[in-house]
Amino acid sequence: MTTRLIYFAWVRERIGMAEEDVDLPAGIETVTDLLRWLKSRGEGYGHALQYPDVIRVAINQEHVEHREKIAGAREIALFPPMTGG
């Protein structure tokens, strides 16, 4: 199943694209697994995800924790921490 990954702010800048469609490999079950796999995909990904604990994630436009299962996700968004003002 194809999943759309969307990147925001400096995550997008470091990876070098705003979004991509990927077929996730077997064994990618949680957000943590996804971040680990993405980090291994190349230098830009590694740089963007060097501190995965600070990355915020939304699955199908709903904020989730890193332990969340991603089965059936149509869209996963990754973005840096945000502050309000």
Domains of the chain are 2-79 (3.10.20.30)
CA distance 31 to 34: 5
Indicate if the pLDDT at residue 70 is higher than 80. yes
**4-41 per-position pLDDT tens digit:** 999 999 999 999 999 999 999 999 999 999 999 999 99
Segment 31-56, tens digit of pLDDT: 999 999 999 999 999 999 999 999 99
**Amino acid residing at 5:** L
Given a cut of 60, is residue 85 above it in pLDDT? no
Q: What is the pLDDT of residue 82?
A: 77
Question: pTM for the whole thing?
Answer: 0.93
